[in-house]
Amino acid sequence: MGFKESGQILILTGVGGSLAATVKAAGLGDILGGFFSASTVAPLLVVWAIAAALHIAVGSVTLSAITAAGLLAPIAPAIGLDPVLLALAAGAGSLFMVHVTSNTFWLLQSLLGQSVRGALKSVTVGVSVASVVAILLILPMSLLF
């Protein structure tokens, strides 16, 4: 029973980690590092946007965060970006536009006792605003750390 509930999460986490390892082994991190060497703000926005797009398309917060962070993690040391900020940006982006394809949506809809329509209004908008506010707080942090 436990594997039935957690199996999908484990598989998606493994896929995200595998993609990150492939990006690193292929040397894509060095190529991307050249594009982002001028500023640490651009990679954080890119990670946030990739995570947001993946979450909207796939509906998995976990998969979108791990994949987005894994894509740009190889360049973090090259440009002096703290990997924690990269992870925070990916996590913030992965929360953007929580909707009916996301387990998070259904969890919050159930816990709040709302209809699907009500949850689309409150949960989707509320979590999306939180996602944007989070990246707006992370960007100045990248200039300090």
pLDDT tens for each residue of 4-23: 656 666 666 666 667 666 66
Contact 108, 98 (CB under 8 A): yes
Query: Average pLDDT over the chain, rounded to whole?
Result: 82
Structural domain contains residue 101 = yes
Is 128 a residue whose pLDDT tops 80?
yes
Domain count of the fold of the chain: 1
Give Cα separations from 93 to 7, 64, 67, 130, 145 (angstroms).
Answer: 24, 8, 11, 10, 20
Structural domain contains residue 133 = yes
Structural domain contains residue 118 = yes
Structural domain contains residue 4 = no
pLDDT in tens, 130-144: 999 999 999 999 888
1 vs 64: which has the higher pLDDT: 64
Q: What is the pLDDT, as a whole number, of residue 99?
A: 87
What is the average per-residue pLDDT within 35-44? 67
Structural domain contains residue 2 = no
Q: What is the pLDDT, as a whole number, of residue 88?
A: 96
Structural domain contains residue 6 = no
Domain span at 119: 12-144
Q: What is the pLDDT, as a whole number, of residue 131?
A: 97
